[in-house]
Structure 1
Amino acid sequence: MHFIITDAWLAKSRAVHLSGTRLLLSLLALSLALMVTAAGLYHWVFLKGAREGWPVIGALVRLVVKDEFEQRDRFMRENLDAMARKVGEMQARMVQLEALGERVSGLAGVNPADIKVAPGRGGALVAGPSLTLEQLQATLAELDQVAEQRTDLMTVMESRLLDQKIRKMMVPTQQPVLNGHVGSAFGWRIDPFTGRSALHTGLDFQADTGTAILAAAGGVVVTQELNPAYGNMIEIDHGNDVITRYAHASRVWVKKGDLVKRGQKLAEVGTTGRSTGPHLHFEVLVQGVPQDPQKFLAAGQNLAGPQLARAGAPATLQIASHR
């Protein structure tokens, strides 16, 4: 493409030759320059009009700003409502947790009033039109504080329940022979060897030779010996001055110093020592004084939870001294 430029003053002409590529690049450059110029003018006019309060420009600016604020407010309101619903659900769950904690604390023997816990509040949070972000944050902070207090209460109850469980496991309430029946009970009787009245300091469980003898509770083996009267004998210390004795065994599976658990096999029924036939002689000694083992075994069958734990405490044992 050829362009001829004529200067009337100088009476000169100039020919310009543009190929297809040059023409296209020239048009693009011209278009870009026009766009930049238009944008700059629009921006300058718009800002000048907004600053000086031109009627048309000012109204347009207020309309744009108002629409932006409305969108932002609508977005915040939707998010606040969603968060408020979640907080309401959390409050409802906290109420359920509080009721559960009261029931469990009763089982654990813990009085919630003895622990500093915020007073209970019921009802779910309902988002109203006046709800603000500050109110929501305050509610969340309160819930966090209540959750920490509930955690403290649950920790105390867990410790108390664990203590009760340990006490329960250390009280000799497990039957030492599962398939045996009681022959001679605890108390005064006619001695089978001398024919005279004598104190029988335990329970005799009649069973076949080789029948398993089980630990009545967890503890530590403090004695494992062959005794002239008791034969193969085992004594287990359960703590709190409570010891159980297992006598006349034919075979022993534990040794002194072993740590045993409730129901663990200790030995096998036999007729060693001062015995007229295969049986287990089972004793419970509290502070060295023989007690009626049947009271402990009955406690294991009839009592549970805190009552069982209290039955195992030395202060609650009725110790009878036999001379």
Structure 2
Amino acid sequence: MQIILVSRHLKAARTITIMPRHVLATIFALLVLVFSTSALFSWLSVALRLPVVEDLLVTLHLQEDRKTRDHVDNNLHLMATRLGELQAQVLQLDALGERLSGIAGVKRERSVDIIKAAQGGPYIPAPMSVGALEKEIERLAAVVDRRSDDLAHVETKLLEKRVRERLLPTVLPVKDAYLGSPFGHRSDPIIGTRAMHEGMDFNAETGTPVIAAADGVVLMAAYHPEFGNVIDIDHGEGLTSRYAHLSRIDIKPESLVKRGQLIGAVGSTGRSTGPHLHFEVRMLGVAQNPAHFLKQGDEYAHLKRR
């Protein structure tokens, strides 16, 4: 690079040639001057304890302290918020667990952390440190996990209970019917001698709908010499129900039926003296008193009796 100097004080123009090394040398000299001046100023400020420098250092320290304090306060606020959320979750899970346990009929064992000795005294707030907050959050998170596991267990029991209820014949198979012969020994209606009646009769007009007393699978839906048109339903675990003397059959063998589903109609087929439904409940082939099952439902108490 060349610089040409022209002035009235100069008789002729002067040319100055600037080489790259000249530029680098100038920059290096400036940097050395800046660092030297800064080092000298810092040394003087420390050695002579200049008020301006001390005030500047104090201000910087205060700013750093304030930033650190704001960061800690913000973290404490977030941790306190999280702690409050966990405490609320524990209370909600406890209340929900109690309600579900009552519905499912499951007795919950109160955890050790719930059972506390009697305490009292004036309330004097004591702020928690960061470490204490972290420990409390970890403890409550573990409590929430345990409560969730407890609720999952209760939910399983509740589901099992509902399944069992759906499979138990607790619904009256005939609506608006009169209770006829109960379960047990009686005088046979055909020949008059003492005989065992292995079911209970529901007296109703021919054509009155007959429904399934519980969920199940149809084992048989056919004509029988003594029971007439008869339907046998398997409810699982050896429990079956029988609907006999039907005037018609509305389902087929091996079909699935739901509680309350129409399966046939009252009739007087087979060995019968009049229109009625003969209803049986058997466990592993042994006749049971159907009333023991029907009484678990809400309809048996309103069953009409002559």
Give the TM interval when normalised to the shorter protein: 0.7 to 0.9
Deviation at 1:85, TM superposition (A): 3.5
SS state of the match for residue 93, structure 2? helix
**2:59 maps to 1:63:** yes
Change in 2 beyond 3 A, CA 1:48/1:166: farther
Q: Report deviation, 1:301.
A: 2.9
What amino acid does structure 2 have at the position aligned with 1:12?
K
> How far apart are residue 106 of structure 1 and its match?
4.8
CA distance in 1: counterparts of 2:139 and 2:40, whole angstroms:
51
Q: Partner of 1:105 in structure 2?
A: 101
Pairing 1:189–2:158 present: no
Residue 113 (structure 1) shift? 3.7
Candidates 196, 202, 205, aligned match of 1:205: 202
Alignment counterpart, residue 114 of structure 2, candidates 107, 117, 120 = 120
Structure 1 CA distance for aligned equivalents of residues 39 and 263 of structure 2: 96
Deviates more, 1:87-96 or 1:281-290: 87-96
Maintained 8 Å contact 2:238/2:283: yes
Q: Indicate if the aligned counterparts of 2:100 and 2:155 stay in contact, CA closer than 8 A.
A: no
**Residue 297 to residue 121, structure 1, CA distance change in 2 (3 Å):** closer
* Contact 2:210–2:265 under 8 Å retained in 1: yes
Q: What are the within-5 Å matches in structure 2 for residues 1-323 of structure 1? A: 5-7=7-9, 11-12=10-11, 49-50=41-42, 53=46, 55=50, 56-113=52-109, 119-120=113-114, 131-301=128-298
Using the TM superposition, give the Cα deviation of residue 177 of structure 1 relative to its aligned residue in structure 2, in angstroms. Answer: 0.6
Distance change in 2, residues 1:130/1:292 (3 Å): closer
> Is this contact kept in 1: 2:239–2:284, CA < 8 A?
yes
- Decide whether the 8 Å contact of 1:213 with 1:269 is kept in 2: yes
Q: 1:79 to 1:273 in 2, by over 3 A?
A: same
5+ long unaligned stretches in structure 1: 15-36, 304-323
Q: Structure 1 residues 60 and 299, CA, compared in 2 at 3 Å: closer, same or farther? A: same
Contact 1:252/1:266, CA 8 A, preserved across alignment: yes
CA deviation string 1:239-277 (max 9, x = no partner) = 232211101112212222122221111112222111222
| Partner in structure 1 of residue 23 of structure 2 | none
Deviation at 1:88, TM superposition (A): 2.1
Change (3 A) 1:196 1:110: closer
CA distance in structure 2 between the partners assigned to 1:120 and 1:291 by the alignment: 45
Distance (whole Å) between structure 2 residues aligned to residue 229 and residue 249 of structure 1: 12
Report the 3-state secondary structure (helix = DSSP H, G, I; strand = E; otherwise coil) of the residue aligned with 1:77.
helix
Q: Deviations over 1:89-112 (max 9, x none)?
A: 431331342244245335435454
Equivalent residues of 1:215, 1:262 under 8 A apart: yes
Q: For 2:113, what is the secondary structure of its paired residue?
A: coil
Q: CA deviation at 1:159?
A: 0.8
Q: Any stretches of 5+ residues in structure 2 without a counterpart?
A: 14-29, 117-122, 301-306
Q: Aligned partners of 1:66 and 1:173: how far apart in 2?
A: 78
The answer as to whether partners of 1:98 and 1:120 remain within 8 angstroms in 2 is no
Distance 1:62 1:296 in 2: 86
* Cα distance between partner residues in 1 of 2:218 and 2:43: 95
Helix, strand or coil at the partner of 2:274: coil
| Secondary structure of the structure 1 residue equivalent to 2:247 | strand
Contact 1:46/1:57 (8 A) holds in 2: no
Range with bigger deviation, 77-86 or 232-241: 77-86
Q: Deviations over 1:304-323 (max 9, x none)?
A: xxxxxxxxxxxxxxxxxxxx
Whole-angstrom distance in 1 between the partners of 2:210 and 2:242: 11
Question: Structure 1 residues 44 and 163 mapped into 2: Cα distance closer, same or farther (>3 Å)?
Answer: farther
Q: CA separation in 2, counterparts of 1:184 and 1:225?
A: 24
Q: 1:71 is aligned with what amino acid? A: K
* 3-state SS of 1:5 partner: coil
8 A Cα contact 1:187 1:201, kept in partner: yes
- Are the aligned partners of 1:174 and 1:217 in contact in 2 as well (CA < 8 Å)? yes
Identity rate of aligned residues, in percent?
Answer: 39
Question: Any conservation in 1 of the 2:93–2:148 contact (CA below 8 Å)?
Answer: no
